[in-house]
Structure 1
Amino acid sequence: MVSICIPAYNCAEYIGPCLQSIVNQSYHNIEIIIVNDGSTDNSSAVIQTWCNTDARIRLIEQENKGAAAARNIAFRESRGALIKFIDGDDLINPEMIQDQVNLVDSDDHIISGKWGRFYGNDLSTFKLSTEACWQTLTPINWILSAWERGEPMTQPGIFLIPRKLIDKSGLWNEELNLLDDTEFFNRLMLNAGLIVFCSTSVLYYRSGVGGLSGQVSREHLLSAYAALDGVTTLLYNSDKSENVEKLCANIWQTFIFNYYPAQMDLMEKAEQKINAFGGSSLKISLGGYSKFLANLIGWKTVKKLKHR
């Protein structure tokens, strides 16, 4: 059995298409566990209508505790030997689960797939986000390939995970509300034997509907900092190679690029991390007038002006 674990928060508009893409799977031995994380819209009522029409779907209610806590509850209530975490506004292609299950040959192998973005409700905007890691790789080589530019964005829905590997690696860190997926999958992968690529599995990632990724409150940046601290520490302790040192420095440099000049004490700590890992050669990516200004007055000054 494959257990599909879905955290749901104020996703009444999007959970229907998400569930439709799952119940339409060519692989039928699944259970779908949805944890409604204290939604204030009518997500619960919408999900319940799906529960009434498909016995494989189960709804669990909880007060708002965050996506990590919701995923943990769903996992604890699941029964499958294989686990897939999907966000409540994303979609998967009809053959994804069958094709990924066909590749499972070990309880320490993670099966990965492709992903791309679409915007709002318009699937015609979908575009694959082609990546170098779209191949079968050892865990450390997958991480080095996927996060090479210091951007450790990880889509939970592309992976099919053996339950035993989650039991070994530990559940989602409920203290984190930003980059919790990066921290979880880094830990998971470093306990895996192989990341096996499934070229026919596709996740459709919905963009432009809000979320936490653009938040720069102190609470969120503390979470991002803690997540990346855990990620880079574990990576370096697992492999002290020059390539891993460079990756860790790049991860911290990208953290600064993304959030500077918010919470300057965290920016200063991140600079210290970069120096400890031997420095980063990454250049900030800016477009248009910002790029022109950065050449004249420096990217930090441009970011300060835009932050006002």
Structure 2
Amino acid sequence: MEESYPLVSICMPAFNAGKYIQEAVRSILEQTYSSWELIIVNDGSTDDTALVLEKFDDPRIRIHHQKNTGQCAAANSAYGLSRGRFIKFMDADDMISPDCLSDQMRRIGNSNDIIASAAWGRFYQNDINTFKLNEDLVRIDCRPIDWLVSAMDGKQVMLQCAIWLIPRTVLEKSGLWDERLSLINDFEFFIRVLLHAGEIRFAENAILYYRSGLQNSLSSLKSQKGAKSAFESIQLGTSHMLSFESSERVRKVCADCFQNFVYSFYPFHQSLVRCAESKVRELGGAEIPFESGGYTKLLTRVMGWKSVKKLKILLSGGAK
């Protein structure tokens, strides 16, 4: 392997991903950067994922089957099997642009202390033609804490795993995925990882195509277990930031993170919601508004966001 083209390891947990994983793998096979390996961990899938994986015959693809242990544990298993100098974690239902790896490697250069970020956007109903690039991106090169504050200011931060290309040396310092977490586990993990790097550099030709609207996706689950995981991930992630820099700007965006938890989970899981509200007050108050538009925005002004949220739940048949 030529040193000018170091190996990139793509670590992909897969659980019941038979419907989408071929597209994810195809996007990797189409990379203009060819020095990569793909480690797929089939995490006890009960659909046809194992059968679909048998179709892949590229020698750069390695497949490991295990009993179901959860996304974090499967990601850690994939990392344990990897050999690359650089690591990208990637979900089995997303895709990346053909120049993703090459542009991120160009931005990192020969450094072991720089993490490359990427552009991203969503597509819906499994239709790539609905893809729309997110314009609200942090496009500058900056210190990790500055990136985090900018990405969180007034909005929910996107820390989806395939956005990042990470030197192995950074992961050796930061540690791996917290296997206690399920919902928004990427929040805690990537804050911890980013804060162990020296710089974040933006690769504009690297694009993540993020599949949205999956009814059974992990992110759509709001069980008590999921709500507890989300709260713990926010608590851990914000603690990492505050330990790094306990400034007014960091406290503000951390308060907004807890306020977003309140907006998302109210009126369910009341004990966790109250804990989050207490965190907001402790951090000096939040400024991020309740997301609304049209008639909802008008009703929020008249009734307050909590009444509007209850009304929306009632009209949708009580779904969370």
Structure 1 counterpart of 2:46 = 40
Of 75, 80, 85 in structure 1, the residue corresponding to residue 79 of structure 2 is 75
Provide the aligned length of Structure 1 versus Structure 2.
306
Structure 2 counterpart of 1:90 = 94
Letter in 2 for 1:201: A
- Does the 8 A contact of 1:132 with 1:145 survive in 2? no
Cα distance in 2, alignment partners of residues 299 and 293 from structure 1: 8
1:102 is paired with a residue of what secondary structure? helix
Of 285, 289, 292 in structure 2, the residue corresponding to residue 279 of structure 1 is 285
Cα distance in 2, alignment partners of residues 193 and 224 from structure 1: 27
Does the alignment pair 1:126 with 2:131?
A: yes
What CA RMSD, in Å, does the superposition of the two structures yield over aligned residues? 1.2
Structure 2 counterpart of 1:174 = 179
Letter in 2 for 1:297: M
Structure 2 counterpart of 1:296 = 302
Cα distance in 1, alignment partners of residues 302 and 116 from structure 2: 47
What pairs with 1:109-188 in structure 2 (closer than 5 Å)? 109-188=114-193
Structure 2 counterpart of 1:206 = 211
Percent sequence identity over matched residues? 44
Cα distance in 2, alignment partners of residues 150 and 116 from structure 1: 15
Letter in 2 for 1:221: A
Cα distance in 2, alignment partners of residues 207 and 266 from structure 1: 26
- Further displaced range: 175-184 or 142-151: 142-151
- Does the 8 A contact of 1:10 with 1:41 survive in 2? yes
Query: Shift of the alpha carbon at 1:123?
Result: 1.3
Letter in 2 for 1:303: K
Query: Shift of the alpha carbon at 1:289?
Result: 3.2
Letter in 1 for 2:276: A
Cα distance in 2, alignment partners of residues 120 and 281 from structure 1: 33
Query: Shift of the alpha carbon at 1:149?
Result: 2.3
- Rate the CA distance shift 1:166–1:182 in 2: closer, same or farther, 3 A: same
Query: Shift of the alpha carbon at 1:150?
Result: 4.7
Cα distance in 2, alignment partners of residues 98 and 179 from structure 1: 28
Cα distance in 2, alignment partners of residues 16 and 215 from structure 1: 24
2:200 is paired with a residue of what secondary structure? strand
Q: Which structure 2 residue ranges, 5 or more long, are not aligned? A: 1-6
Cα distance in 2, alignment partners of residues 93 and 298 from structure 1: 42
2:218 is paired with a residue of what secondary structure? coil
Cα distance in 2, alignment partners of residues 299 and 290 from structure 1: 9
- Does the 8 A contact of 2:104 with 2:116 survive in 1? yes
Structure 2 counterpart of 1:265 = 271
- Rate the CA distance shift 1:95–1:112 in 2: closer, same or farther, 3 A: same
Cα distance in 2, alignment partners of residues 70 and 291 from structure 1: 41
Does the alignment pair 1:29 with 2:13?
A: no
Does the alignment pair 1:237 with 2:243?
A: yes
- Does the 8 A contact of 2:119 with 2:137 survive in 1? no
Letter in 2 for 1:226: E
Cα distance in 1, alignment partners of residues 266 and 157 from structure 2: 18
Cα distance in 2, alignment partners of residues 159 and 67 from structure 1: 17
- Does the 8 A contact of 1:150 with 1:252 survive in 2? no
Letter in 1 for 2:194: M
2:130 is paired with a residue of what secondary structure? strand
Cα distance in 1, alignment partners of residues 273 and 165 from structure 2: 35
Cα distance in 1, alignment partners of residues 45 and 140 from structure 2: 38
CA displacement 1:212-242 (0-9 Å, x = unmatched): 2222211000000000000111111110111
- Further displaced range: 151-160 or 54-63: 151-160
Cα distance in 2, alignment partners of residues 120 and 235 from structure 1: 35
Structure 1 counterpart of 2:3 = none
- Further displaced range: 166-175 or 22-31: 22-31
Q: Which structure 1 residue ranges, 5 or more long, are not aligned? A: none
TM-score normalized by the length of structure 1: 0.96
Letter in 2 for 1:171: L
